[in-house]
Chain A
Amino acid sequence: MNNNQMCESDGKSRTGSGTGEYFITYPDQVLENVLENVLLFLKSRYDRNAVSLVCKSWYRAEAYTRSDLFIGNCYSVAPRRVTQRFTRVRSVTIKGKPRFADFSLLPQDWGAHFTPWVLTMASAYRALEKIHLKRMSVTDDDLAVVAHSFPNFKELVLVCCDGFGTSGLAVVVSECRCLRVLELIEDEVTDDEVDWISCFPSDGVTNLESLAFDCVESAINFESLEKLVARSPLLKKLRLNRHVSIPQLYRLLIRAPRLTHLGTGSFSPSEEQPQNDSSRESDYLSAFAACRSIVCLSGFREIAPEYLPAIVPICANLTSLNLSYANIDAEQLKPVIRLCHKLQVFWVLDSICDEGLQAVAETCKDLRELRVFPIDAAENAEGPVSEVGLLAIALGCRKLQSILYFCQQMTNAAVVAMSKNCPDLVVFRLCIIGRYRPDCLTGEPMDEGFGAIVKNCKKLTRLAVSGLLTDKAFCYIGQYGKLVKTLSVAFAGDSDMGLKYVLEGCTNLQKLEIRDSPFGDSALLSGLHHFYNMRFVWMSSCRVTREGCLNVARHLPRLVVEVFRRDEEEGGERGDFVDTLYMYRSLDGPRADAPRFVKIL
């Protein structure tokens, strides 16, 4: 496979008659060294995967120089195989459970354990510096292994993980002396009554650049936190939990005026503080005013809305604002949002109503990402936002790339308008909370709206659909959604044809999650040619039978086909159909840690 057949098998080249070639020992080795030096610059894993396919020599060189590992599905490959191929890894990213786990659709002990990974890496990757996990089960023991095994450990980022507590955190912060980044994002962290914040080494300065613990529910030792911030000169990102009040926030801000990212904690007064303490308001204003570098603001976990104007001094600099825990109305939002001209990312609750969204559309011309969450997630609730708000955003924010929008009613017209006005859309996720709800104006299904999105938004890679949808919508998606990689479907479609359109048409589909839709065995078969290219397929409460799943498993031996019931009853079936089907390709066969209620076909 060597594409450089200049030399004999003994590695020496000949001086050809008249060519004046120099004598080179082991030209293969030289080439590999050169290649390695070049490959060091290659960061993208897609490029690296391509490189590794050229020939064995390139495969080796690439494996030797890959420092960032990305495992999109922790069960797709065994840890040992990975550590044997890539020997000099410094950074590891692993993703575990499928996304529907966030909505209680995955039984508790399903899996995605970090333990086998950390144990294998502990001996293989002594120079490991960064671990980034998403939807994995991580135990305190695992964190202890991390703390003890990697002398150079610098960054720990845990997103949507569970299984550990403040005691695990205590071990990490006390022993990882090089720690620069500790980010806990939307994790479930148990309260072990350990004062982990006090466990940072107390001598000298820390290397901390980023500390995020807004999801940690347990109270924090504020004095320790304050001292920690005071001796962390490199700290740029600080995200506090809801146990930090405004006066405490103030004390931290005056110690860390160079912050770029701030999570404000509760953003309400402490219990001892009298309400309407206007003498302090000017203090807060000046504290924020001193933080000229803040570009990303979040928190507001228990906001006292009258304090919101304190952030006015920094609004003009903000590129990201997360108010999605703040129950505020349009009148409270407007004085602040009117100043946010540079805003690119905005997360908010629908309590701001269509009127609030209009204000956003008027000012935030640079908006790239919008997420509107429902304050009341009930199906029969009054919807404060509607097609009016969506239309306003469509007309005002022409650069929009990503939207997540929860509402109770929608029209095709508004969705079509967005498809035409926002050609840069990459992510379109619309959640009409009432299931099977049609266009509220015309009574028609929402097919045409979503059809327009896939047709007009040429860069679309992620789509989530809702409302009343017939197979026609899926016909559009299959026909036009050629770049779609992630598709979420719930309570939609009429027949197998819907899923067939998607599996046959969406050539780049990688992640498919479907619930409560009438797709069955024959639809499943139409994807046989494609399942190996996908990261996973999830189908729950559909019309797939055990026989149908077995059939797929027989055709595709390298596909792991898991069948289970959400309530952990064994068997996997609910009536005639399988409750949940979850399948993914794996290089190493079915996993050994599947709980009893998971059946692997």
Chain B
Amino acid sequence: MDLNLKATELSLALPGTDDLPEIKTTTTTTSNQIKTNKRSSPDIDASVTDESRSAPTPKAQVVGWPPVRSYRKNILQGKKVEPEMGSGMFVKVSMDGAPYLRKIDLKVYKSYGELMKSLEEMFACMIGLYSENDGYKGSKHAATYEDKDGDWMLVGDVPWEMFVTSCKRLRIMKGCDARGLDL
């Protein structure tokens, strides 16, 4: 969805004068305006489609107007609303022995080092960084991930960029279990 920046400009013209921004013909209807409260979305979405309304001109929709909470807006469409996470790459992280999952946004990190540091803090444990020669020497836990094909791999195997695009979820295992994972 493109940002239609000109159309977002607040026009304080006299009420009644229709200061119409360019309306993009898109196939998006109001039903695609499904956003959760949390998302900072593109400001407007021109609703042009079907309606042969007697209203003079189709007005561009404004963010947060009318003041109806988004999950109410969705009932008409009967759509299942998943709480959106925004545009990040969120993956679930579980740790053996921890009572609940966490979620992290992989886009936030630029390297394995950053990711590991963050995981360490999160789970307050030591995760060794895998290295070709040493394996997970001396550490109690190992980070593994499930890739696009459903295989469980050790974190650190592949170049970072490849990891980010193929990782579906993370699991921090006890170090001894991880050794069973073959490369």
Interface residues of A (CB under 8 A from B): 100-105, 107-108, 140, 144, 162, 165, 167-168, 170-171, 186, 188-194, 215, 217, 302, 324-325, 327, 349, 373-382, 406, 431, 433-436, 468, 488, 490-491, 515-516, 518, 541, 543, 566-568, 574-575
Contact = CB atoms under 8 A, between A and B. Distances in A.
Contact of B82 (A192, A215, A217, A518): A217
Nearest to A189: B83
Contacts, number: 138
Interface in B87-115: 92, 99-103
B159 interface: no
Contacts of B63: 103-105, 566
A100 B76 contact: no
Contacts of B103: 165, 190
A562 B43 CA distance: 22
Nearest to A404: B67
Contacts of B139: none
B180 interface: no
A431 B83 contact: no
B101 A192 contact: yes
B40 A568 contact: yes
B168 to A, nearest CB: 13
Given A144-B99, A436-B16, A104 B37 contact: yes
B59 A490 contact: no
Max chain B C-beta neighbours (<10 A), residue from A102, A103, A381, A566? A103
B181 interface: no
B6 interface: no
A376 to B, nearest CB: 6
B64 A107 contact: no
B138 interface: no
Given A165-B100, A374-B68, 8 more contacts: A103-B69, A108-B40, A186-B69, A188-B36, A302-B78, A379-B65, A436-B16, A515-B64
20 contacts: A102-B69, A103-B69, A104-B38, A104-B39, A104-B40, A140-B100, A140-B101, A162-B37, A325-B72, A374-B68, A376-B76, A377-B73, A378-B51, A379-B65, A381-B51, A434-B59, A435-B65, A436-B15, A518-B12, A574-B10
B136 to A, nearest CB: 27
A217 B65 contact: no
Contact of B86 (A108, A171, A376): A108
Given A104-B63, A162-B83, A468 B15 contact: yes
Nearest to B69: A102
B68 A379 contact: no
B58 interface: yes
B59 A380 contact: yes
Interface residues of B, number: 47
Given A327-B76, A377-B30, A433-B66, A192 B92 contact: yes
Contacts of A568: 40
9 tightest A-B contacts by CB?
A: A167-B100, A103-B64, A436-B15, A380-B55, A188-B83, A433-B66, A108-B38, A105-B64, A192-B101
A209 to B, nearest CB: 26
B81 A217 contact: yes
B87 to A, nearest CB: 11
A516 B63 CA distance: 11
Max chain A C-beta neighbours (<10 A), residue from B37, B51, B63, B83? B37
Interface string B46-80: 01000101010011011111111111110110101
A566 B59 CA distance: 21
A138 B9 CA distance: 34
Nearest to A163: B38
A171 B58 CA distance: 49
Contacts of B101: 140, 165, 167, 192-194
Nearest to A196: B100
A431 B40 contact: no
A104 B64 contact: yes
Interface in B122-168: none
B41 interface: yes
Contacts of A382: 53
A516 B12 CA distance: 9
A559 B62 CA distance: 30
Contact of A516 (B10, B30, B102): B10
A103 B33 CA distance: 12
A170 B100 contact: yes
A486 to B, nearest CB: 13
B77 to A, nearest CB: 10
A192 B37 CA distance: 20
Contacts of A574: 10
